[in-house]
Each structure stands twice: as structure tokens, then as C-alpha cells.
């Protein structure tokens, strides 16, 4: 560890391909683990409301609308700061930006654990959202800086997989801790954990080197407008945001009320199902990464896989809404796995834009993801809240309408994403139907054309 404290420059860490295996371990310990831990914490804070919302609703008298707002303000703040954080990461590097923001998240966790009213809970939740807003982007940026290029896809998949274990921790394990020490003491523990990860990031991660790609980007005068004016980004963002944002919104909050109010699960069964769903998003990240890698070798792009995932996601949600005769765990697991499709989206972004613009491009996409998650999570609460609850439970029709509106937007986004393919398909079908008529007319022309004063014989026409 003495060598880590010396904080060597990034070039020494990046050139691990020509060094002994010990260098890989230094790289994993000093770069990968701090940012993976930060992303784990971000995922834990994001999804923990599904476990603590009953206690908060009971203690503070929260209805569905306030519960939805409290959970979704995290996404709102998270989305609002993605662009400036992307600029800061490209300019100052992930080490300093991440460690400073985590201190703010620790302050939010402290305020949340000592809150005496809804306004304090709301402010604390917003502070937490701001404090962990750079977690994934900082990790992705760190991987680009310090890891060999040929290893980036694999490392990204592993980071997202390990980080999504925070969603696993926010289910049954959190429920056990709540029964033991209560939600206020839980947030005291989270405060110390957040400070520890901030210190780990600041002292273990090597000094940020100058990003050569950033200087190249500056010379080319690539700006954020380069991202938002890109046709490929404009196709990707609506589908990625509508599907991934909805998955996050449902898994982090509304899956639990549905399972309790509609499926009639008791607390233990509910937490078990949420635990399995959380495992699904973790394993799904690794699975989608491996699938994308193998399919790409066969000429099938990440765009095709993302579109297929979007279609399966919509079908799974319809199965939930229509209550098709199947175990509810099956479609809900598909819903949770869709939340890991960021592996595909970020891979596509990496192909679309140069390295020096990576953080800002990822930030632009994250803005769409978390903006959609806020809109879906809060919107479901507003719609469900239009019905009166009976013994704390809302009727089936309230959830069906709220979820159905979300599915309609996803279907529209999938159609928009598929427009180039649909256009190609229509042109192909038109050509297929038009070709026989064109050939017939062409053949007739050749038959009627005089050749040295005579009409072509049938045999000659056929040859033409």
C-alpha cells in the first residue's frame, strides 16, 4: 500500500498490459474498487425507499403523492446536475470531483436520519442525490483514464454489476437492519460508510493525469451541442430513458406497493421478491455485457440488442398490468433486468463520441435517464393518489392506469428508435413488390423494340 500512497501518474497504471500481475491488483485496489464502492452506495440510496417508505409513511403521514415525490426528488436532482458534473469530470478528473461530492451525500444522510418533518426529508434526499450524482460517470471516466482500452468494456460491465448489488442490499438485508436498529440509526451508519468511501477515493486513487483526449476535443471545439445535435443520440436517448428510467422508478419504489396492494404479498414475501429482482439487475448487467460482446463479433450491434430488450420489457410490463396467469416474479424480473441496460447505452455512447467528450456525453444520457425516472416515479404517485386508499391499499385500476401510460411512452420511443430500420424494411418490401411489375414492363419493351426492322422473337425476349 505504500506504493499507492505515492500516487504515481496515470501512465504507470494504464500500461498494465506490459507489467506483472501485481500491477493489475494495484489497479483494481487503487482505481476500480473506490469507484465501484461509490456506485454501490449510489444504487443503495436510490432503491432504499422501497424498504423504508412504509415506516416513513407511518411516522410522517405520507400519502402516495408525497411518497412518490420524496423518492423521485433524488432522480430530479441527479438528472439536473449531470451536465455540469460531466464538465467537471472532464476538467478536474474523477478523483477530486467524486470525493468532494460524497461528503455532501454524507451530510444528506445525516439530515435524513434526524429529520422531523417532510420538508427536511425532501431536502436531505435532494442532498443525497447531489452527493452521489457523479458515482457512475466518475467510475466510467476513471476506467477510460487508467485501464487499457481493450479492457474498458469488461471493466465497465463488472463495475455496473458490483454497483447494482446496492439494490440487493436495499431489500431483505435492509429490512433485517430496520427490524434491528430502525431507519434513523440505519442512516447514521450510512453516514459513516459514505465518509469512509470518500476518504478511500481521495487517498487511494492516484493523482489525475492530464487527459490527452480532452485537449484533442478542445482543439476540435467539440461541445455539448455536439452531443445533442447528433442524430444517433437523438434516436437513442428517448428509448434508453423511457425504458431504463421506468425500470429504475418501478424497482426503487412502485414494485413494492404493487406487490402488496395488488398481489397481496406479506412483508416477508415482498422483500424476498424484491431481493430476487435486485439480484436480476446485478446479474443482468454482466449478462448483457457478455451478450453484447459476443453478438458484436457476429455482426449484431448493441442497438439491435437494446431494441430487443425494449420490446421484451414492454411485453413484461403488459403481463404485469393485465395480470396474465403466470408467477409475477417472472415479468418483474424482466423489469429489473432492464435497469441494467445502461451497459448497452454507454457502450453505444462510447462508439458515437470521442474519449475527451465521454463524460459530457454520458452526462447528457444520464440526464435523460434520471429525468425520465423522476417523471415516472412522481407521475405514478400523482395518478395513484387520485384514488382513495382503503386500509392503506390503493385499487388495481389506479396502478394499471399509471403503469399503462408509462408503457405507451416506451412504445412510442421504441418506434422512434426503429424508424431507420422500418424505413429500410418498407423500401425493401416496396422493391420486392415493384420488381415483378418493372420486369414485366421491361420485358414488354424489349419485345416491342424493332431490331433491324423486326420484332424480337420470344426466345430472344426471354434472354433479355
Going by C-beta distance under 8 Å and a sequence separation of 6 or more, which residues neighbour residue 3?
Answer: 26
pLDDT tens digits, one per residue of 288-302? 877 887 787 788 888
Other C-beta atoms within 10 Å of 421: how many? 12
Residues 208 and 87 sit within 8 Å (Cβ to Cβ): no
Beta-bridge mates of residue 454: 451
3-state secondary structure of 455: strand
Beta bridge mates, 393:
390
* Cα–Cα nearest to 30, from 53, 3, 60: 3
DSSP state of 8: -
CB 134 within 8 A of CB 359: no
Taking Cα atoms as reference points, which of 426, 436, 14, 8 lies closest to residue 213? 14
What is the structure's pLDDT at 282? 85
Nearest 5°: the CA angle 384, 44, 50 is 25
- pLDDT digits 0-9 by tens, 225-252: 888 889 999 999 999 999 999 999 998 8
Cell representation of residue 435: 420488381
What pLDDT sits at residue 326? Answer: 92
Q: Is the pTM of this model over 0.85?
A: no
129 CB-near residues (< 8 Å, 6+ apart): 45, 73, 74, 75, 76, 77, 78, 108
For residue 153, the model assigns a pLDDT of: 63
Q: How far apart are CA 248 and CA 93, in angstroms?
A: 27
What is the predicted pLDDT for the residue at 132?
94
Q: What is the mean pLDDT of each run of 10 residues along the chain (464 residues)?
A: 42 47 74 92 88 89 87 86 87 90 96 94 94 90 76 75 86 88 94 96 76 44 78 94 94 89 89 88 84 81 92 97 93 93 85 78 88 91 89 90 96 95 82 66 50 41 37
Separation of first and last alpha carbons in the chain: 80
Phi/psi of residue 450, nearest 5 degrees: -70, 135
3-state secondary structure 308-370: HHHHHHHHHHHHHHCCCCCCCHHHHHHHHHHCCCHHHHHHHHHHHCCHHHHHHHHHHHHHHHH
- pLDDT for residue 443: 55
Give the separation between CA 35 and CA 286, rounded to whole angstroms.
Answer: 17
- Here the cell at position 304 is 439491435
Per-residue model confidence (pLDDT) at position 68: 86
The predicted pLDDT at position 283 comes to 87
Establish how many alpha carbons lie within 13 A of residue 85's alpha carbon, considering only the half-sphere containing its beta carbon. 33
Q: CB–CB of 74/128 below 8 Å?
A: yes
pLDDT at 22: 52
Given this model, what pLDDT does residue 298 score? 85
Q: Looking at residue 45, what is its pLDDT?
A: 93
DSSP string, 388-454: PPBTTB--HHHHHHHHHHHHHHHHHHHHHHTHHHHHHHHHHHHHHHHHHHHHHHHHHHHHHSEETTE
Cβ–Cβ under 8 Å, residues 43 and 190: no
Amino acid at each position: 500500500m505504500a506504493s499507492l500512497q505515492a500516487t504515481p501518474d496515470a501512465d504507470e497504471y494504464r500500461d498494465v498490459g506490459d507489467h506483472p500481475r501485481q500491477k493489475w491488483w494495484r489497479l483494481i485496489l487503487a482505481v476500480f474498487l473506490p469507484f465501484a464502492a461509490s456506485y454501490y452506495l449510489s444504487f443503495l440510496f436510490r432503491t432504499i425507499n422501497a424498504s423504508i417508505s412504509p415506516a416513513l409513511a407511518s411516522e410522517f403521514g405520507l400519502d402516495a403523492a408525497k411518497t412518490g415525490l420524496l423518492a423521485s426528488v433524488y432522480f430530479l436532482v441527479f438528472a439536473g446536475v449531470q451536465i455540469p458534473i460531466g464538465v467537471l469530470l472532464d476538467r478536474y478528473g474523477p478523483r477530486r470531483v467524486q470525493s468532494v461530492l460524497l461528503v455532501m451525500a454524507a451530510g444528506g444522510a445525516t439530515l435524513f436520519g434526524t429529520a422531523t418533518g417532510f420538508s427536511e426529508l425532501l431536502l436531505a434526499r435532494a442532498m443525497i442525490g447531489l452527493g452521489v450524482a457523479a458515482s457512475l460517470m466518475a467510475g466510467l471516466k476513471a476506467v477510460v483514464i487508467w485501464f487499457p482500452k481493450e479492457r474498458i468494456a469488461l471493466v465497465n460491465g463488472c463495475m455496473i454489476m458490483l454497483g447494482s448489488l446496492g439494490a440487493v442490499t436495499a431489500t431483505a438485508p435492509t429490512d433485517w437492519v430496520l427490524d434491528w436498529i430502525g431507519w434513523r440509526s440505519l442512516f447514521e451508519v450510512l453516514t459513516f460508510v459514505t465518509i469512509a468511501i470518500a476518504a478511500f477515493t481521495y487517498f487511494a486513487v492516484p493523482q489525475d493525469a492530464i487527459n490527452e483526449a480532452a485537449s484533442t476535443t478542445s482543439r476540435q471545439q467539440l461541445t455539448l451541442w455536439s452531443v445533442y445535435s447528433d442524430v444517433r443520440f437523438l434516436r437513442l436517448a428517448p428509448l434508453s430513458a423511457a425504458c431504463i428510467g421506468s425500470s429504475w422508478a418501478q424497482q426503487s419504489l412502485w414494485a413494492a406497493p404493487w406487490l402488496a396492494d395488488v398481489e397481496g404479498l406479506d412483508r416477508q414475501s415482498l422483500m424476498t421478491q424484491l431481493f430476487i429482482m435486485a439480484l436480476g439487475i446485478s446479474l443482468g448487467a454482466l449478462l448483457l455485457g457478455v451478450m453484447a460482446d459476443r453478438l458484436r463479433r457476429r455482426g449484431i450491434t448493441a442497438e439491435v440488442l437494446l431494441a430487443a430488450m425494449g420490446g421484451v420489457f414492454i411485453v413484461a410490463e403488459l403481463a404485469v398490468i393485465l395480470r396474465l396467469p403466470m408467477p409475477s416474479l417472472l415479468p418483474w424480473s424482466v423489469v429489473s433486468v432492464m435497469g441494467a441496460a445502461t451497459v448497452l447505452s454507454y457502450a453505444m455512447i462510447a462508439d458515437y463520441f470521442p474519449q475527451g467528450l465521454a463524460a459530457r456525453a454520458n452526462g447528457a444520457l444520464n440526464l435523460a435517464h434520471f429525468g425520465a425516472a423522476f417523471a415516472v416515479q412522481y407521475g405514478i404517485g400523482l395518478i395513484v393518489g387520485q384514488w382513495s386508499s382503503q386500509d392503506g391499499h390503493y385499487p388495481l385500476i389506479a396502478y394499471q392506469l399509471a403503469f399503462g401510460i408509462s408503457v405507451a411512452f416506451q412504445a412510442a420511443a421504441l418506434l422512434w428508435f426503429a424508424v431507420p430500420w422500418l424505413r429500410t424494411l418498407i423500401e425493401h418490401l416496396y422493391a420486392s413488390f415493384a420488381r415483378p411489375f418493372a420486369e414485366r414492363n421491361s420485358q414488354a419493351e424489349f419485345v416491342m423494340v424493332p431490331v433491324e426492322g423486326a420484332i424480337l422473337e420470344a426466345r430472344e425476349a426471354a434472354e433479355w
